Amino acid sequence: MDKERITSVLEKQRRLALMILAAVCLTYFVENFLRSAASALTPVLIVELGISRGSMGLLITGYFLIYGIMQLPAGVLVDVLGPRKSILWFTGLTCIGCALFYLSYKYELLLVAQIIMGIGTSVFYINAVTLIIRWFPPERKATAIGILSAASGVGGFASYMGFPLVQSILGNWRDLYVVMLILLVANWGINIFVLRDGPMPAAPVKRKSRNIIASFRQTLSDKRFTPMLFTYTLLGFNYVLLSWGTQFLIESKGLTYVEAGLVTSLGTVAGFLGCLSMGIISDRLRKRKTPIIAFFGLFLLALIGVVMMPAGLGVALYAGLWCLMGVGNSVWVIYFSMVGEVLPVRKATIGLGLLNGANIVFSSLMTPLYGSLVDQTGSFFIPGLISISIAAMTFAVLLLYTKETYGNVINE
């Protein structure tokens, strides 16, 4: 009888875990649609607002910079509020920012909306990963995180492909934006009833400000974590060209807005598949380093092809290379499994925040500089060569300094 009851409880937990995964995947899908929106709308907003590429880069950065900075307290919120409350409160803020972006026709208001959405979405991924770690067994953890991360690719696809189509057919990109706002509000309501902090009740952790600062200092000084933080921060630069993808393909390769949207959206679908395969391959091989090196090597080769290929070679070729970049760039998903394999539990949530924050802050600071460099040089070629150089350096650092962490259990 006890055995049957235990089996019943485990089955109920398994079903609830899958429901939680589905709910947070939907949230992450919409959030990544919003995250990609400014990049996907770059050609439209430059004309609509009459702004330079540098100003457009600042609009994109308005979201990502505050998002990156907020990663630092995000890890603390996991302990203080718990993942459920953190997700619910901040998703509500995202809804407000989304509504403001939809209603705004001035650059300044759009920038404010980007900042609000950057704050609102900033704590989601770390808290969602924490839920997955708590609800899924070790042998399914990386796969579940891969599925969650893949939702980012689907959201990006909806943004990069959806906006060009809606703008071309209906003439108003805001029609698609309001649909996503309604979906996000509905999903927020679903999360109220579905999300649970863990199979076992957990009391919030009370942290004093002095203890929080000490936790950050201890995590940053941990020699097991420092190489991972450095390499993951370097990976952030590789998102810069992807942020400018639509405009890059229009100006450098001669594609139309719809064609460029097709290429970038297919790249996000490839990223979706890359996230899935990355988690599965890593779990099956019982290795972390080998998939990282192989996938990022693929990204580097595809990046060289994208930058060096001349214009007028056909949409299919550019789409193929962009898809390879999407698959290769999915290495980021493994790092969120690796944090818990190099740090003890008391440092892991802080480590997640530092990891994600440093990467995104670095990337977001480079985005407007990249746009300004295009303004100064008159093309994307020189910035593209810089992208190749930094990607090559990143590959060398990954090869030399990434440690194998699979299966590590840190008990201290």
Q: Which residues of 102-140 are buried (b: 16+ CB within 10 A; e: fewer)?
A: bebeebeebbbbbbbbbbbbbbbbbbbbbbbbbbbeeeb
**pTM score, whole prediction:** 0.73
Other CB atoms within 10 A of residue 395 CB = 17
pLDDT digits (tens, 9 = 90+) for 308-360: 999 888 899 999 999 999 898 888 778 877 777 777 766 777 777 788 778 88
User: For the chain, which residues make up each domain, given as ranges?
Assistant: 8-199+208-401
> Tokens at residue 364, please?
């977001």
Architecture of domain 8-199+208-401: Up-down Bundle (1.20)
Output the CA–CA distances (angstroms, integers) from residue 233 to 89, 109, 139, 228, 369, in the order listed. 28, 30, 27, 8, 17
Q: How far apart are CA 134 and CA 356, in angstroms?
A: 20
Nearest to 346 by CA among 196, 201, 218, 197: 218
Candidate from 56-60, 252-256, 318-322 with smallest mean pLDDT: 56-60
pLDDT digits (tens, 9 = 90+) for 103-148: 999 999 999 999 999 999 988 888 898 888 888 887 777 778 878 8
Nearest to 41 by CA among 180, 149, 150, 186: 180
Alpha helices for 81-123 (secondary structure H): 83-103, 107-122
